[in-house]
């Protein structure tokens, strides 16, 4: 097998994520290519598209949400994502075991001891009545039915165990951070087509194969553990083994076997990678178990310090070189190490381009960073 260097893997990831060059594809096409766009906090998804699409504007994504072509809901790794509506209705049933596993964690089970999960979901859907309720109101009504239990946790469990779609305003551009008021609607009532039905064992395997193909198109070459870390499913090795004839195999820099689509091209490892500003939670950083192709283990601790935080980052030569933040109109850059004059100028130019999009007025550095000579 051909051995791929860390740089070759980096350039493949940058290319497939539209981070080597911005694309002219539409936002819904880009979201589809990436399978789903991390949307823990709504504004960040917009920044992720701005970094990947020529001339992207907030109104384009907001219109897709309002037209129900794109939906926001729990999906990969039980976290909030934006996905094309057709992808969501097909992928959510496949990924439901991941969300059920989260719903079975102690945080939820401590609150629902003695309650039947199916009955709880049925109650939640009954309260929604095919319409829309705020999370707060759904929690209040569930708490009324189950005195002594935390209604917010009960509502959260319902949202994990059955597909509920967020109202367009929840995922639309607005204030930074999570919305204080989130409204949910049963997916069957929101989508223009019904959710995919429960699949047979053969159907599940076929759906998993398609998910793996989609993943590799956006994140490959990668290992089985990488696919599992990205989506939350387990035992995908059995599925990959069944796909042997259609996949190409490589050896990674650490000796692990990597898989890729047979017809996928790899860019020249020496292809220049421009400076890019990535949003918080971007899947380019979260799409692998081994993330060293884009971020070092040392820098990873700074970007992902715990408590489910994934800070906004900037890339220099295709790799995380620091973080950035926005506050009181200032876009503040925090490099992890000194930048050469050329890279510093490119970073400031990209930050200046982002400023009007995020409503900022000034670019600054959080600390004085020495500039080494080019």
Q: Which of 52, 5, 2, 22 is nearest to 282 (CA)?
A: 52
**CA 21/CA 272 separation, integer angstroms:** 10
Contacts of 203 (CB under 8 A, 6+ apart): none
Give dist(CA 249, CA 93) in Å, integer: 29
Q: What is the DSSP letter of 146?
A: S
Distance CA 228, CA 287 (A): 9
Query: Tokens representing 115?
Result: 């309650």
By residue count, the chain amounts to 374
pLDDT tens for residues 20-46? Answer: 999 999 999 999 999 999 998 999 999
pLDDT tens digit sequence for 35-87: 999 998 999 999 999 999 999 999 999 999 999 999 999 999 999 999 999 99
pTM beyond 0.85, yes or no = yes
Q: Please state, in angstroms and rounded to a whole number, the distance separating the CA atoms of residues 328 and 364.
A: 12
pLDDT band at 199 (very low <50, low <70, confident <90, very high): low
The whole-number average pLDDT for the span 133-149 is: 96
Cα 222 to Cα 225: distance, rounded to the nearest angstrom: 8
In order of 70, 185, 367, the CA distances from 167 in angstroms are: 11, 7, 40
């Amino acid at each position: 097998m051909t051995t791929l260097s860390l740089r070759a893997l980096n350039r493949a990831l940058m290319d497939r994520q539209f981070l080597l060059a911005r694309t002219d594809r539409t936002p819904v096409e880009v979201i589809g290519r990436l399978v789903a766009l991390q949307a823990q906090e709504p504004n960040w998804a917009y920044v992720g598209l701005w970094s990947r699409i020529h001339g992207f504007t907030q109104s384009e994504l907001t219109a897709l949400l309002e037209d129900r072509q794109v939906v926001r809901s729990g999906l990969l790794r039980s976290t909030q994502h934006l996905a094309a509506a057709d992808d969501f209705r097909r992928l959510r049933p496949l990924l439901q075991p991941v969300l059920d596993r989260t719903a079975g964690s102690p945080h939820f089970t401590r609150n629902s001891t003695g309650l039947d999960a199916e009955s709880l979901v049925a109650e939640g859907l009954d309260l929604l009545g095919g319409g829309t309720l705020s999370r707060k109101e759904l929690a209040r009504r569930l708490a009324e039915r189950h005195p002594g239990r935390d209604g917010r946790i009960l509502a959260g469990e319902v949202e994990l165990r059955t597909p509920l779609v967020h109202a367009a305003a929840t995922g639309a551009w607005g204030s930074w951070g999570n919305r204080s008021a989130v409204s949910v609607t049963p997916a069957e009532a929101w989508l223009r087509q019904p959710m995919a039905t429960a699949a047979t064992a053969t159907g599940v395997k076929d759906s998993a194969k398609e998910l793996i193909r989609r993943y590799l198109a956006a994140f490959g070459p990668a290992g089985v553990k990488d696919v599992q870390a990205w989506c939350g499913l387990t035992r995908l090795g059995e599925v990959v083994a069944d796909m042997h004839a259609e996949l190409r195999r490589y050896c990674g820099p650490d000796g692990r076997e990597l898989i890729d689509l047979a017809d996928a091209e790899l860019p020249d490892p020496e292809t220049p990678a421009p400076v890019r500003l990535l949003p918080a939670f971007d899947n380019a950083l979260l799409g692998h178990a081994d993330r060293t192709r884009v971020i070092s283990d040392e820098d990873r601790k700074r970007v992902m310090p715990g408590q489910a935080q994934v800070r906004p980052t900037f890339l220099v030569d295709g790799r995380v070189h620091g973080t950035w933040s926005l506050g009181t109109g200032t876009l503040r850059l925090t490099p992890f190490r000194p930048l050469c004059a050329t890279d510093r100028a490119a970073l400031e130019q990209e930050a200046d381009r982002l400023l009007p999009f995020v409503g900022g007025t000034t670019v600054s550095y959080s600390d004085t960073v020495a500039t080494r000579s080019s």
